[in-house]
Amino acid sequence: MAGHDLPVELLEDSDNRRVEVHRRPLGVVGAIIPWNFPVLLIAFKLPFALLAGNTLVVKPAPTTPLSTLRLGELMAGIFPAGVVNIVTDQNDLGGRLTAHPGIAKISFTGSTETGRKVMASAAASIKRLTLELGGNDAAIVLPDADPAKVAPGIFGSAFLNAGQVCVAIKRVYAHADIYDALCAELARLAEEAVVDDGLKQGAQIGPLQNKAQYEKVRALIEEARTNGTIIAGGEIPGRPGYFIRPTIVRDIEDGTRLVDEEQFGPVLPVIRYDDPEDALARANSSDMGLGGSIWSTDREAAHDLATRMEAGTVWINKHLDFGPTMPFGGAKQSGLGVEFAQEGLHEFMRVHVINEAKV
């Protein structure tokens, strides 16, 4: 990210005028970080905020302050005083930060519900906003896909960080021709997954981060016993901690909470379809549009569907592949603005036009 440049853009240099676009810092930026990736998501915001010439106030989630404070200790000997500031709270400072007249921009990652509150609070002072919000990413698996080949990619993209990833696969639409085989492969992977303390060698899936999220996912699993068929997982390990085994639910439909809402945990619904156009329409029916993916050996068919999927990023035969050179943002209620790439750097700056008459 530090390799991005900030050149002056020359729009016109004619006989009559010269027009340049400069980009200037905004001032103080507030960064509000969620609990699922408390260090990684600072790395999404801090480099561009500082590269643009701003100072930064970081507020970590109240359930994950320690790693952020440790990062602050490391940075204290690098940046001048006041350039990077970390403020922790008991979930009572978010509103003050977003409404503060001295803050020019808020960069927020979190739920869509909280994003609406951030947007409303920032409106009084017309703050600049970048909102990276919730997702309900759909994976559409076409009938030509080999279930044994695509299942590991789908499983890994659904259960990374115990499913606590905004842009993870949250629902799978599988064609009727391969539905049973794909469900069986996903169930096998779920049964083989090692759920344990992350400090133990071999652990693949850890616990949920907090009790509220744990209880939400447990409730969704209990509802799925009525609305679908649990073919792997579904049980709660008898041990301390918020552990839930990866759970695969088949024979479930749109209109249930597990399909329509963002579960943000280790439970994945697999929905049967017959017509790819119908699957696309169902995937697009969500108010969210963070990411999505198409899985197929037919590149042309997959690309056609991908161009019509309503999401900020659509992958083909993969998911969760992004980085500092690719713009990342959501469609619909999954976000406002982008992170990464030149577009993401520009989010931390204002446009300053110099329009000179040639005399």
CB 169 within 8 A of CB 248: no
Q: Distance (Å, rounded) from C-alpha 315 to C-alpha 139?
A: 9
Longest CA–CA span in the chain (Å) reads 82
Q: Distance (Å, rounded) from C-alpha 271 to C-alpha 167?
A: 19
Which is the catalytic residue, given 113, 166, 262, 277? 166
Sign of CA dihedral 335, 220, 203, 316: negative
Which is the catalytic residue, given 132, 185, 262, 339? 132
166 is catalytic: yes
183 is catalytic: no
CB 173 within 8 A of CB 271: yes
CB 150 within 8 A of CB 124: no
What is the DSSP secondary structure assignment for residue 235, as one 8-state letter? P
Using CB atoms within 10 Å of the CB of residue 62, give its burial: 0 to 12 exposed, 13 to 18 middle, 19+ buried.
middle
CB 185 within 8 A of CB 282: no
Contacts of 347 (CB under 8 A, 6+ apart): 48, 105, 107, 128, 130, 337, 338, 339
CB 295 within 8 A of CB 142: yes
Long-range Cβ pairs for the range 212-215 (8 Å, 24+):
213/164, 213/242, 213/264, 213/265, 214/242, 214/244, 214/265
Q: Distance (Å, rounded) from C-alpha 177 to C-alpha 160?
A: 27
CB 137 within 8 A of CB 291: yes
List the catalytic residues: 132, 166
